[in-house]
Amino acid sequence: MQAFEANGGSLSLGYSTFFGSSPATDVNKLSFGSALEFGLTPDIALQGDFAYSKFDATGLSNTGVGLHGIYHLNESTSLGAFIGRDNIDGRNLNYYGVEVAHQMGMFETEAFVTIAKDGGKDGTVFGLKGDYVISDAVTVGARFDQLKVEGADAAKFAVTGEVAALPGLNLTGELGRGRIKGYGADPYVGVGVKVNFGAKNGATFGNRSILDLLPGG
């Protein structure tokens, strides 16, 4: 990996919706995301993220930006620290945190912890995902995310899949169950397309936008 060059990045477009009986989750979400990683040295990189989400039932929209500082410990493990801001219909939600990504053979894992600040309210977000690369064209995995901000408590678990449709163009899918405290839990489904590019065929870490974690609505 050379210094001072774009290591890789991605563009994604997704749609997710709950299909349970709770009126609180009777909504769907359209989202767009992008990431670009830039190498400063062979071991140190910066990654920038952009995310946009639109929720149909409430008309709520979110624009998020994030910046990661990355240290590639070796070819298998990367450590990161990040900061970001979501703008939810004019209201800012700031966050920061730490993350780690590790690859062992055909297995890939990623975990993060986020501290979110909404005005005078603080909260935490925790995420863990694992993928198994079946072949160059097929990847399956699972993920768990939990959000605990004062006045809000939500979590989701999902099985995921990614299939290469064309060189650099993947179809993605997610089937899981989301829980919102006070409203119960409902199943949801998500589908999307993702374009990876660059020497790394993508970026090291995922988007950390808080609202980007919520399926459907």
Q: Which residue spans within 73-212 are E strands per DSSP?
A: 77-88, 91-104, 107-118, 121-133, 138-149, 152-166, 169-180, 184-197
Secondary structure class of 15 (helix, strand, coil): strand
Gap between the Cα atoms of 33 and 10, Å rounded: 8
Number of structural domains the chain divides into: 1
Residues whose CB falls within 8 Å of the CB of residue 89, separated by 6 or more in sequence, listed in order: 60, 61, 62
The widest CA-to-CA distance across the chain, in whole angstroms, is 52
In this prediction, residue 167 carries a pLDDT of: 86
Q: Report the CATH number that the domain containing residue 204 is assigned in CATH.
A: 2.40.160.160
Q: What is the pTM of this model?
A: 0.90
Which residues of the chain have a pLDDT value below 70? Answer: 1-4, 20-27, 57-58, 120, 150-151, 183, 216-217
Q: Which domain holds residue 154?
A: 5-213
How wide is the angle at C-alpha 47 spanned by C-alphas 74 and 72, nearest 5°?
10
In this prediction, residue 3 carries a pLDDT of: 58
